[in-house]
Amino acid sequence: MTGNKALVLLSGGIDSATTLAIAKSGGYEIHALSFDYSQRHARELESAQMVASAFGVEQHLVIQFDLREIGGSALTSDMAVPKRRLKDQLSGAGTSSFIPVTYVPARNTIFLSFALAWAEVLLAEHIFIGANAVDYSGYPDCRPEYLQAYEAMANLATKASVEKKIQFHIHAPLLRMKKSEIIKKGVELGLDYALTWSCYDPQPLPAKSVKRKNLSSLKALRSSLVPCGRCDSCVFRAKGFQEAGMQDPLTG
Amino acid sequence: MTGNKALVLLSGGIDSATTLAIAKSGGYEIHALSFDYSQRHARELESAQMVASAFGVEQHLVIQFDLREIGGSALTSDMAVPKRRLKDQLSGAGTSSFIPVTYVPARNTIFLSFALAWAEVLLAEHIFIGANAVDYSGYPDCRPEYLQAYEAMANLATKASVEKKIQFHIHAPLLRMKKSEIIKKGVELGLDYALTWSCYDPQPLPAKSVKRKNLSSLKALRSSLVPCGRCDSCVFRAKGFQEAGMQDPLTG
């Protein structure tokens, strides 16, 4: 039976972790796929591992390559991660271009392509991605029309689709959900968001200024890094928890 | 000006080398992209480098990742590379499945996705791939309908297409050419096929059995490997040179 295998792209952030929880609740056998692409915030990979482990996935594969060679993003080059951009934008105080410099060229296309390769080997027809077109940074490869075009291409790309009539489905269950709705859904499914990581620009743990209650949740982590609190991803996370009426267990 | 930059996928084989020669003859500034994916025939990367150098490309980037982690192919696992399969098939002596085990799951999709990422950074609208739908091994990701679907997806995938209205074009100039026609075209464009490599299953150079005349062309190579002469790729190469009425400078 091939119908119950799902491949989940897992960065370790709120969206991908919630997507994994949703796939798991759908009864799928989960194969999680993460990428070590020399991202500035490689700390997220520890979170990916913890989330995969918490949900008892069948397999968790981490593929390694270096997107710094291609560059073109603040997450894979020396470009500075913008701070307060979104905060200003959300409060109406600033202007900013539509797609920020944290956009990584063709990242979801690369990620989905490795997912497609592994899905073909596993004969897994279901590929889950935490793409979101509401509370997000305007990335073009999170739009529904992009995901539809990817699925159409994927179904022409493989030996499995030609010889075994495998039909790949790209699932993006968060596509039209607000961040606060995503968080509520995850909590409902038993996801502990202390395991996740969002910050694009992790900072060293300041020795004195950390409250004791934070230390207990941070203890499980191998690295001593804290979120910057000011990048787009931190701002979206904070806004999501605020709107959900919850405290972020990672920073709260 | 962005119109004259081309990104060429360069494996180091006959098809990709000829594709590069064609792109170069079209007046494009060439950026060549190769992949070290732990392929059994990594020898082809030496050829890629030699071809890139012979044609004076602007840049040659080699991206590294390990497709053995995903497996599913004789080129990236311990599976044996089939021998005489095509030879028997071409002579009507044998039967074989449509797509051979040398197919690598979603390989062109992965390659094109890195190409798209780099093309976006370079603002290069033209991506060249040596896909061929005539004298090939029946790979699904070499078919025209696949390439069209990829192009449609690519034009929805990037910040460059949203913000700068960049239109990516996937060029596959060899798509409907026979191997012999490809070889004639390359020779006409000054491509020395001694620089290229096709064999899927390179063998150590037998100390005594090599003719002196071969040694001179092999001298330039860093590794001492010779083609097996029996895998699909060797058989297509030999048939191509035979039908073109030429001697293969690599083995002749």
Q: Ramachandran region of residue A210, left (φ > 0), alpha (ψ -120 to 50) or beta?
A: beta
B5-244 CATH pick, 3.10.450.100, 2.160.10.10, 3.40.50.620, 3.30.70.920: 3.40.50.620
Whether B157 and A146 lie within 8 Å, measured CB to CB: yes
Question: What number of C-beta contacts closer than 8 Å exist between A and B?
Answer: 152
Vertex B147: Cα angle to B202 and A149 (nearest 5) = 125
Contacts B114 to A, Cβ<8 Å: 70, 106, 110
Closest residue to A69, CB basis, from B63, B146, B152: B63
User: Could you list the pLDDT tens digit for every one of the 252 residues in chain A?
Assistant: 456 999 999 999 999 999 999 999 999 999 999 999 999 889 999 999 999 999 999 999 999 999 999 999 999 988 888 886 666 665 555 444 568 888 899 999 999 999 999 999 999 999 999 999 886 667 899 999 999 999 999 999 999 998 999 999 999 999 999 999 999 999 999 999 999 999 999 998 776 555 544 544 444 454 589 999 999 899 999 999 999 999 999 987
Q: Which among B44, B112, B41, B15 is positioned nearest to A154, based on CA atoms?
A: B112
Instruction: Flag whether the ipTM exceeds 0.85.
Output: yes
C-beta of residue A35 within 8 angstroms of C-beta of residue A16: no
Contacts B71 to A, Cβ<8 Å: 121
Q: What is the CA radius of gyration of chain B?
A: 18
3-state secondary structure of A168: coil
Closest residue to A99, CB basis, from B61, B150, B159: B159
Contacts A109 to B, Cβ<8 Å: 113, 116-117, 153-154, 157
Give the relative orientation of helices B107-122 and B144-157 as an angle to the nearest 10 degrees: 40
The more confident residue out of A192 and B223 is A192
The structure tokens listed for A124 are 């897994």
Contacts B103 to A, Cβ<8 Å: 159
By the CB < 8 Å criterion, does A44 face chain B?
no
